[in-house]
Amino acid sequence: MTAKPQLVLDLAGVLVSNFSSAFWDTLAEGSEISFQDIRVQFDEVRRDLWTGKMKEDEFWGWMSLRIKQINKEEARELITQSLQPLPGLNYLAQWSEIADIHVLSNHCKEWLEPILEKVEPYARSITISNQVGLRKPDLQIYKHVVKQFERSERTVVYVDDQQKNLKPAIDLGWKTLLDDPEHKWIDQVGPMLMTNVL
């Protein structure tokens, strides 16, 4: 029996939505800081959060210094609500019949738990950046995913919503698709996996 091709999917931006401006707006509501300012400041610590150097509890401590009235549990619920399923999530069962699915995401795993429950039944592996201490586009996190492949010489299709994250995948010989607002990548990935010829 021929080994299945490998389908590697980003999570936020591909299977679920990224944080929306409404999320940041609600978070900053009633505080002295604007949602634009809190987003800019979040970008300054995102690297440490995504690589696990900053633990989730430390992040909420950091946030409480900027938004005094922040409630951790309410804020976590806001995060959960902001991560809305995207159309690709509905195809996991179908794709898992013809490919081994791997998830590769820059994120904080603690915030993804409700989504991961929907993904886990179909995924051969799930790599979340804050759990492995690496983040995209660092080539090492892609090599970490390769270790999860049954056979590394199989066809690999990788989907991400950020162009910069595609380059390391291309360097590894993976075929890549850039997610788009209309989710046209979904129509492209199916035939790629079915034929195993890219």
Q: Which residues contact 179 (CB under 8 A, 6 or more apart)?
A: 10, 13, 14, 88, 159, 160, 161, 185
pTM higher than 0.85: yes
Structure tokens at 80: 């959960």
Q: Which residues contact 97 (CB under 8 A, 6 or more apart)?
A: none
Give yes or no for a contact between 13 and 88, defined as CB atoms under 8 angstroms apart: no
pLDDT one-digit tens code per residue, 120-169: 999 999 999 999 999 999 999 999 999 999 876 678 999 999 999 999 99
pLDDT one-digit tens code per residue, 89-129: 999 999 999 999 999 999 999 999 999 999 999 999 999 99
